[in-house]
Amino acid sequence: MNCLVCAQQTMPGLSAWHRVCPACRYESAALEPTINDAQVHVQVDEAQREAGLKAIRQENFKTIIGYATAQAAPGARRLLDVGAAHGWFLEAASGHFQVLGMEPDTAVAQQTAARGLPVRQGFFPDALEADERFDVIVFNDVIEHIPDIRSALAACHERLTPGGILVLNLPNSRGFFYRLSKLFARAGWRAPFERLWQKGLPSPHVHYFQAENLSRLVGMQGLELKMTAELPAVRAAGMLERLRCASQGKMLGVYAQYAAVMLALPLLRMFPSDIVVCIYRKP
Ligand SMILES: [Zn+2]
């Protein structure tokens, strides 16, 4: 199996489904998406999973919208949010752009549309009209789920107006928590590693990038790197809710974890973050 980015022979990783490129450090997983599979859908409490992440996502969305506003061409209006989920990014961006969301999960798309947000059910780019073009296309925690990422990036190039920008917000394989999870997996504790790949969830990750190998792949589709930035994966705001949500009611343990995380935050900031955002421009 050859690397998606640099075509070198990849090597077995930390699991039967995991492979790593020794040349560019691109990582892949042979995990099958089961989106819109009713049986899997029932097993995941979507609302609970999302609630714990809401505060940090919303803070990071504000930062991303600031970057997008700065990098977009003057007069940029139309923004497409691919994988809009519950519409939080659409809400945050609607004051700056004319927004459209796209969401493949039928139930989630219906809930978001019911809140009055402009979301279309379907996959990118199939659910777009033939002549639809955008000044900004955004993927928040989405591109790492798409098996045929080359075609998706080619479609981004096609669907962007000249000077339009592509915003990719995704997990960072240089991130502290991901690298720690690999250390644990080598020692035999695989749960954190599998959790970061979202193994067993309806739409697991199939790629793990860092800014360099991602930019090489995106560059092959004729898009130029404009900026990369790391976003905090852990913030004080919302941390108590996030831990409470994960622990299911054992409050003493939650407060102990909360204290530990708060003490560790300044130390964590010294390491690469687990979230990276890269912005590319169509010439
Ligand atoms: Zn490679």
Q: Per-residue pLDDT tens for 19-44?
A: 999 999 999 999 987 655 555 454 45
pLDDT tens profile 211-248: 999 999 999 999 999 999 999 887 766 677 777 766 66
Please tell me the distance between residue 2's alpha carbon and the centre of ligand 1 in angstroms.
8
Instruction: Give the residue-averaged pLDDT of 97-118.
Output: 96
Please tell me the distance between residue 73's alpha carbon and the centre of ligand 1 in angstroms.
32
pLDDT tens profile 160-218: 999 999 999 999 999 999 999 999 999 999 999 998 999 988 889 999 999 999 999 99
Fold of 33-234+273-281: Rossmann fold (3.40.50)
Share of the chain above pLDDT 70, in %: 89
Radius of gyration of the chain (CA): 19
Please tell me the distance between residue 225's alpha carbon and the centre of ligand 1 in angstroms.
18
pLDDT tens profile 113-157: 999 999 999 999 999 999 999 999 999 999 999 999 999 999 999
User: Is the confidence at residue 249, as pLDDT, over 70?
Assistant: no
Please tell me the distance between residue 31's alpha carbon and the centre of ligand 1 in angstroms.
19
Please tell me the distance between residue 216's alpha carbon and the centre of ligand 1 in angstroms.
10
**Domain boundaries of the chain, sorted by first residue:** 33-234+273-281
Please tell me the distance between residue 24's alpha carbon and the centre of ligand 1 in angstroms.
4
Please tell me the distance between residue 274's alpha carbon and the centre of ligand 1 in angstroms.
20
Please tell me the distance between residue 10's alpha carbon and the centre of ligand 1 in angstroms.
7
Whole-model pTM over 0.85 = yes
